[in-house]
């Protein structure tokens, strides 16, 4: 039995971790998240974030929030985190990870 995790499962876990981190740090709970985030959606989200790499590099909350078709739970997380400067650094590190993992040539 292998202990390896595929890319989708890894990103699924990281997305859920990011939302839990936001919830714990702000007291704002996002309901129904586990149903919305799947391994496939996590990979697709990362591929989309790769297209918006400059917004993330520049840590531009407004530009990131205004990305068309951004999942509502991510928009909610952005608004919530922006109000809590102590969460900014870790939030942006998660987003940088998603950009890095959004490379379609990245192997499982």
Phi-psi sector, 27: left (phi>0), alpha (psi -120 to 50), beta: left
Q: How far is CA 53 from the centre of its chain?
A: 13
* 80/106 Cα distance (integer angstroms): 31
Model confidence band, residue 42 (pLDDT cutoffs 50, 70, 90)? very high
Q: Per residue in 8-30, pLDDT tens?
A: 999 999 999 998 899 899 988 87
For the segment 29-37, the average pLDDT, to the nearest whole number, is 77
Give the integer Cα–Cα distance in Å for 105 and 4: 18
pLDDT tens readout for residues 57-105: 999 999 999 999 888 888 888 999 999 999 999 999 999 999 999 986 6
């Amino acid at each position: 039995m292998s202990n390896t995790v595929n890319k989708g499962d890894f990103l699924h876990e990281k997305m859920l971790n990011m939302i839990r981190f936001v919830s714990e740090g702000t007291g704002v709970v996002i309901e129904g998240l586990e149903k919305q985030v799947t391994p496939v959606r996590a990979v697709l989200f990362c591929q989309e974030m790769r297209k918006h790499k400059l917004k993330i590099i520049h840590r531009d909350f407004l530009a990131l929030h205004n990305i068309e078709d951004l999942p509502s739970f991510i928009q909610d997380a952005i608004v919530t985190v922006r109000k809590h400067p102590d969460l900014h650094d870790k939030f942006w590190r998660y987003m940088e990870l998603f950009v890095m993992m959004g490379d379609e040539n990245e192997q499982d």
